[in-house]
Structure 1
Amino acid sequence: MEHEGRGLDKHSGHTPNVFRDRFFISLILTLPVLLYSPLVSRVFGFEAPLFPGSFLVSPILSATIFFYGGFVFLKGAYGELKSRLPGMMTLIALAISVAFLYSLATLVFPLGEPLFWEMSSLITIMLLGHWIEMRAVSSASGALRELSKLLPDMAEKFVSRDRTETVAVADLAKGDIVLVKPGGQIPSDGIVIEGETDVNESMVTGESLPVSKSAGDQVIAGTVNGTGAIRVRLDKVGEDTALAGIMRLVAQAQASRSKIQDLADRAAYYLTLIAVGVGTLTMFVWLFLLDRDIAYSLQRTVAVLVITCPHALGLAIPLVTSISTTLSAKNGLLVREKLALELARNVDVALFDKTGTLTSGELGVTDLVGTRSFDEDKVLQWAASLEQSSEHAVAAGIVRAARDKKVNFLKVKNVKAIPGKGIRGTIQSKEVYVGGPALLSELKKRVPEAVSVNVSAMSEQGKTAVYLIVSGSVVGALGVADTVRPESRQAVEALHKLGIRVAMVTGDAEPVARWVSKDLGIDEYFAGVLPEDKEKMVKKLQGDGSRVAVIGDGINDAPALASADVGIAIGAGTDVAIESAGIVLIKNDPRDVVKIIKLARANYRKMIENLIWATGYNVLAIPAAAGVFLPFGIILSPALAALLM
């Protein structure tokens, strides 16, 4: 975890498992230390079994705990001091070192009771706190691995006009010609030289509709071919591809994220200065001004150093985070980064990706246009009956709409796909076509004015018009678009009530963006935005000081998610979007963005309360440990100071 203005990672080189293993081993070793502690024996009236050398149990086990369990803190303190940035690690290392050395000294000199059990318990509890913290705040660095999974491992490369051989994608070179079969992934950027198909580019460009491709059109690595086989001449390979560019953007955004100063570390920084200062002053006053012996002066100093490192401070932040992340997960919110949850409370702008976030990411029928001979229900019935035989995304949307309305499908014969244009078949002995404007042009059919007017309105909203042609006449049309989630309107309204500006960014055209934005009451939108420009939009919004949350689900959203103040991935999104985000909406509900912001505010408030409680008692405890209240009969021994930690 890096900290703003500090740049030091207190957990560098550590993993949650390191703290977990050291915690459990230290816990096991601490138990006998407690059993053989004189103070514990007096308090609970329990006498541990005695045997020759039993007096060495506490020193030997405590030394093991100090060097094994405490090593991570000593190493962390060394790094902080080397960087001249003392913090939590320095404070812990200082307390356990003084307690350990003091305890060893009591074995040789008559200084008082040793602090072996106090030191052991302090190390054990601090290991627990840091283990919880690392589990709660560690973020996966697998976004780039998920991006690389988009590329196929192998490709069909032409070695002659009609013969191909399977080669590794890494061995492809610029100028190679490859065969991409239906349903296959494009292995590298290139140009179609033969064949027609539709390509699903949504994972890279954000475009919700499959894009028609024919000779001369550009295709992008990682996108998925539709129903037609195509030959592609590669013009970019390896690091030059669009996908590689997105990978670089994600890597740069993750590396350049600013980190705010962790609240516990800030408190520890000041407590370290106070501990050293007050401890030194205490030693000086008792030894030289009040003329007490070295043993008493050292006891007072150790008490100050020990009490300044409260157990609660080590747990104040990670425990709240752990509890809040657990509770949020039960409510469909997965917090992957503590920092994201902490920053969410101050979000000014919620920037939503359209496809798959505010919309379902699936095409559906939004409009039905009938004629005198075919009413709207009949248009849907005939079109869906024919489209059942197609695997096209538009066809799937029409069939889904018919099933939702419980339409009875008709028997269809002689079905034949018309690549890039539509489909034809026979229903009730009549020749039927379903397709877009390209099909009308090929068949040279005129659209009735009653249908044309409605289709024009659909086009203005960016919807795709699909025509139904029966026995040579256009008898109806369907409007197909990426359908808006019902929950999106409530999410936008709730965010407005919280005083948060709502914006939308999409790779779709202006009419689509305008229609969705108006429908949902969104404040501003950005249309036709490419993946690299989405990240620029985030930086532009941040330029006026706004703190931006980006909510998206696609690979094209990954750079924006990583560079935003808070990245929130819709749960049904791609793995790479989830890996790039700090928070994931498991239930695929944009209203959960509102829950996240409310949770973040409550989480921060509770952390502040815990820090106040964890450090506030030092106002009285430190003077008491130093002996300031001795005239009133109040003084803290090192052992009692350890209890109060």
Structure 2
Amino acid sequence: MLIPLIPVIAKIFLAGSAVYGAMAVVKKTKVRKKVIYSLKKVDNRYQQIVQKHFDPFFGTDLRHQQIENFSGEYTDKEVVINRRLGLAIANTGLAILGEMYYPSLLVANGLLLLYIILPMIYRNLKILIQEKRIKFRFFASLSVLVNYISGFYVIGSLILVVVFFAFKLAARTEEYSRKSLIDTFALQPPDSVWVLVDGVEVAVPFSQLQIGDFIILNAGQTVPVDGCIVQGIASIDQHMLTGESQPVEKTVGDKVLASTLLLAGKLQVRVEKTGTATGAAQIGKILNNAANYHSFCEARSERMADQTTLPTLSASALAWLTVGSGGALAILNSDFGSSMIFSGPLNMLSYLNIASHGGILVKDGRSLEILHTIDTVVFDKTGTLTLEQPEVGHIHSCNGWTEQQVLYYAATAEYRQSHPIARAILSAAKQQSLEYLPPDEVDYEIGFGIRVICQGKAVRVGSARFMAQELISLPAEIIEQQQRCQEKGYSLVMVAVDKQLIGTVELQTQLRHETAKLVQQLHKRGLKIYILSGDHQQPTQHIAERLGIDDFFAEVLPEGKANIINKLQQEGRKVCFVGDGINDAIALRQADVSISLRGATTVATDSAQIVLVSQSLQQLNQLFDIVEGFNTNQNRSLLFAFVPGGMLIAGVFLFHLEMPAALVTYSVGLAASLGNALYPLLKFNQQNEATKKNNAT
């Protein structure tokens, strides 16, 4: 049918080449640029249409909203898949028109088909030569070519549509990265900073800041540089970088780090490092240069499709020798693989959407498969197992004062203050229904405490160093108490009235209310649990014992966290790491599965594969339930793909079945696999609708 058309096509091609060759060089360049510009314009418009009208079919509105909030940009890989899927659909139209009305279109159909699959053949031939393994994608390319050569033009084109649609589904389940993490770690520096020039504070653009400059930092500011304090005293929250649960008091000679928060005080800092040279940015460099385990991880459905390729080719070759080309072609179209790579991502998307409705954003669908193999869960402590704001544990009084009076004066002094310690004290006063008056005068002592005048009394609230600075002596029992608290990782806030210490407020790390129950649930699943923290030994050990956690690692630097995760993996463990801070980002990348919480640092949520959107660790147990359902359904889908294909191969050898039987069994297997993959989401939606109706009545 096509042979008589070949000379005509050749003449048209030669004539076009001659016309183009006769053009002047300048005109050729203009024509080429115009063609490229027009093609890019058409492609950009097509990509916009796909993203706006086609992609929403792959997920619920809730999941798309979560992805926009926590995930990121369209990848180049998906843009290419969109383009080739569109070409494959158009090419199928050419094949249908060519078969039914215009045979000459079949030549264009063949050329476009080659254009679409040649890059795939090239990539998979390289894998075959270099890695000595045959991938299903190579098999699919051969199947398309063989069908076309055998005269099954529409079938060959449809197989290509199915393959690229499966690739599109898989791309929708893979992880997005918002941007280079080095940009995230460089923070968003202020437009300007206050620099001390000849004793005068001058606003200078941040970009003009030089090493050796002296900058002025006030309470509430994020430290924009690494440097050394040359004047002042301050309380600094650096838990996002170091993991320390309590604010750190710093003074002249101490180092400050970029991305930490100045809670109270005023500092003059000599600049030592800025921008990408800071310690925080160096973590970003490590992340960007680190090999990401997940980029080498294939979905289970694709791995199994690859494993069926060689047996299917062997069976087809045997059929060619024993029952003829019809049987060989039928086996080639039994297509275990396409059912698997189609139903696998669709099953994954169903459960990704179910997870989204449970407040869980799974950015990388492959993590659902890996979670099924997890045997160890490692938690960051500060901000993950615990809340950032401490809570009042005990109130200790002395020198004849009562505990209620101690809390009353502490709350009076901290009235309208917004730092974590003040919020904890005011919350305790509210719980005890204490009524207190705002202070008459407030004098904030930079760094370590606050001095107020209340009803004619001078009230001082702050650290032991602040009391020493104010010449207020500490009783022996308070000093002993302070040592005991330090061993447990607690902190003491001293309260004094008119130069006499009246007591202390003990601040304890506040556990998330769901943490204890979650640990019990994870233990019931047979999981081993660790704490991994940058905080000191005593508070970390105390939390581990309090929760019944198996083991812990304390005082670990960010790079060290990743090393510990790697060590556990080297011992044969599959590790899930849950963290929220900048200091957790490298460990999140190293873990087999990484989880963060909404409200964590952008770096943590960008690095994690899974985000608990509702900010509750209890969702972690729910996630494991979802994973169990996903894997059960995945096994069922794979069974539906195997059985019809296996029956067809047996039928070819026993009953000499050919292409019609292949098309029927392939359609049955594909329909069963897809129906099973979609069933969980359909069932979930029905239950949701029923719940809404019940609530309405």
Cα distance in 2 for partners of 1:156, 1:549 equals 43
Matches within 5 A, 1:161-310: 161-162=199-200, 164=202, 166-169=204-207, 172-237=209-274, 240-255=277-292, 259-260=296-297, 262-286=299-323, 297-308=324-335
1:15 and 2:63 correspond:
no
Over residues 538-566 of structure 1, what are the superposed CA-to-partner deviations in whole Å (9 max), with x where a residue is unaligned?
A: 22333322222211111111111111122
Judged with a 3 Å threshold, the aligned counterparts in structure 2 of structure 1 residues 410 and 555 are, in CA distance, closer, same or farther, namely same
Structure 2 partner of 1:108: none
| Deviation digits for residues 12-64 of structure 1 (CA, Å, limit 9, x no counterpart) | x9522433454456446646866997xxxxxxxxxxxxxxx824397378547
2:6 is matched with which residue? none
Q: Which residue of 1 aligns with 2:655?
A: 629
Alignment of 1:512-527 (within 5 A): 512-527=539-554
Structure 2 counterpart of 1:437: 464
Deviation, 1:440, is: 2.1
How many angstroms does 1:323 deviate by?
A: 1.1
What residue number does 1:616 align with? 643
Question: Which residue of 2 is the match for residue 136 of structure 1?
Answer: 173
Return closer, same or farther for 1:597/1:638 CA change in 2, 3 Å cut-off. closer
| Residue from 127, 136, 142 that aligns with 1:94 | 142
Query: Is there any run of 5+ residues in structure 1 with no aligned partner, and where?
Result: 1-12, 38-52, 104-114, 287-296
SS in 1 for 2:421: helix
Over residues 408-443 of structure 1, what are the superposed CA-to-partner deviations in whole Å (9 max), with x where a residue is unaligned?
331311111111221111222222111121122123
Q: What's the counterpart of residue 490 of structure 1?
A: 517
| CA 1:482–1:151: 2 relative to 1, 3 Å | farther
Select 2:383's aligned residue among 350, 356, 359.
356
Contact residue 390 and residue 509 of structure 2 kept, 8 A: yes
User: Among residues 590, 601, 612, which one is paired with 1:585 in the alignment?
Assistant: 612
Question: CA-to-partner distance for each residue in 1:344-393, whole Å, 9 max, x for gaps?
Answer: 22222211111111111122222222458654344323311220243443
**Residues of 2 paired with 1:232 and 1:460: CA distance?**
31
1:164-212 residue CA offsets vs partner (Å, 9 max, x unmatched): 452444x555433333344333332211112222222122111232222
What per-residue deviation string (whole Å, max 9, x for no partner) do you get for residues 491-544 of structure 1? 111111111111112222223222222221112222222222222222233332
Asked if the contact 2:186/2:275 (under 8 Å) is kept, the reply is no
Gaps of at least 5 residues in structure 2 are: 1-74, 671-697
Does structure 2 conserve the Cα–Cα contact (< 8 Å) formed by 1:221 and 1:243? yes
**Amino acid in structure 2 at the alignment position of 1:92:** A
Counterpart residue identity of residue 274, structure 1 = P
Deviates more, 1:318-327 or 1:75-84: 75-84
Q: Is the 8 A contact 1:154 1:168 kept in 2?
A: yes
Q: What is the CA distance between 1:254 and its match in structure 2?
A: 4.3
What residue number does 1:149 align with?
A: 187
Residue aligning to 2:694: none
Residue 159 (structure 2) aligned to one of 111, 118, 122: 122
Structure 1 stretch displaced more, 552-561 or 416-425: 416-425
Range moving further from structure 2, 547-556 or 207-216 = 207-216
**For structure 1, which segment, 499-508 or 246-255, has the greater mean C-alpha deviation from structure 2 after superposition?**
246-255
SS of residue in 1 equivalent to 2:509: strand
Q: CA deviation at 1:68?
A: 6.4
From 585, 592, 601, the counterpart of 1:574? 601
Contact 1:390 1:423 in 2 (8 A): no
Which amino acid is 2:80 matched to?
A: V
Q: Which structure dedicates a bigger proportion of its chain to helix?
A: 2
Alpha-carbon deviations, 1:294-350, whole Å to 9, x = none? xxx443332222223554222132112111111111112211223322222222221
Partner Cα distance (1:623, 1:160) in 2: 91
In 2, are the aligned partners of 1:191 and 1:216 still within 8 Å (CA)? yes
1:530 corresponds to: 557
Aligned equivalents of 2:638 and 2:559: distance in 1?
41
Does structure 1 retain, via aligned residues, the 8 Å contact 2:306–2:337?
no
Aligned AA (1:561): L
Partner secondary structure for residue 441 of structure 1: helix
Distance 1:597 1:559 in 2: 24
Asked if the contact 1:205/1:556 (under 8 Å) is kept, the reply is yes
Which amino acid in the other structure matches residue 278 of structure 1? A
AA matched with 1:324: Y
Identity %: 25
Matches of 1:517 and 1:637, distance apart in 2: 62
**Match of residue 413 from structure 2:** 386
Partners of 2:195 and 2:146 lie apart in 1 by 69
**Equivalent position SS for 1:412:** coil
Contact kept in structure 1, 2:240 and 2:582, CA below 8 Å:
yes
- CA 1:477/1:638 → structure 2, altered by over 3 Å: closer, same or farther? closer
Matched, 1:331 2:358: yes
| In 2: Cα distance, 1:634 partner to 1:90 partner | 23
Q: Per-residue CA shift, 1:58-92, capped at 9, x if unaligned?
A: 73785477356656644554443454432121121
Q: How many residues align?
A: 594
> Quick check: 262-271 or 448-457, which moved more?
448-457
Normalising by structure 1, we get a TM-score of 0.83
- Counterpart code for 1:98: V
Counterpart Cα distance in 2 of 1:395 and 1:525: 30
Which structure has more relative contact order (CA 8 Å, sep 6+)? It is: 1
Distance change in 2, residues 1:345/1:474 (3 Å): same
Contact 1:155 1:168 in 2 (8 A): yes
Alpha-carbon distance in 2 for matches of 1:610, 1:149: 45
The 3-state SS of whatever aligns with 2:514 is helix
Contact 1:369 1:454 in 2 (8 A): no
- The code of the aligned residue for 1:226 comes to L
Cα distance change on mapping 1:237 and 1:448 into 2, 3 Å: closer
SS at match of 2:312: helix
CA contact (8 A) 1:58 1:116 kept: no
Deviation at 1:465, TM superposition (A): 0.6
Instruction: Report the Cα distance in structure 2 between the residues aligned to 1:239 and 1:504, rounded to whole angstroms.
Output: 30
Alignment check: 8 A CA contact 2:408 2:429 kept: yes
Q: In 2, Cα distance between the equivalents of 1:405 and 1:26?
A: 70
Which of 58, 81, 106 does residue 59 from structure 1 map onto?
Answer: 106
Mapped contact 1:206–1:507 kept (Cα < 8 A): yes
Q: 1:574–1:210: structure 2 CA closer, same or farther, 3 Å change rule?
A: same
TM-score calculated relative to the size of structure 2: 0.77
SS of 1:599's equivalent in the other structure is helix
Deviates more, 1:65-74 or 1:273-282: 65-74
Q: What is the distance in 1 between the residues matched to 2:201 and 2:355?
A: 56
Aligned partners of 2:92 and 2:154 also within 8 Å = yes
Secondary structure at 2:616 match in 1: coil
Superposed CA offset, 1:582-629 (max 9, x none): 21111222222223333334323332332232133322212434x541
Residue aligning to 1:46: none
8 Å contact kept, 1:250–1:562? yes
SS at match of 1:617: helix
The letter for the 1-side match of 2:236 is V
> Hey, what's the Cα distance between the residues in 1 that align with 2:663 and 2:325?
13
What's the secondary structure of 2:627's corresponding residue? Answer: helix
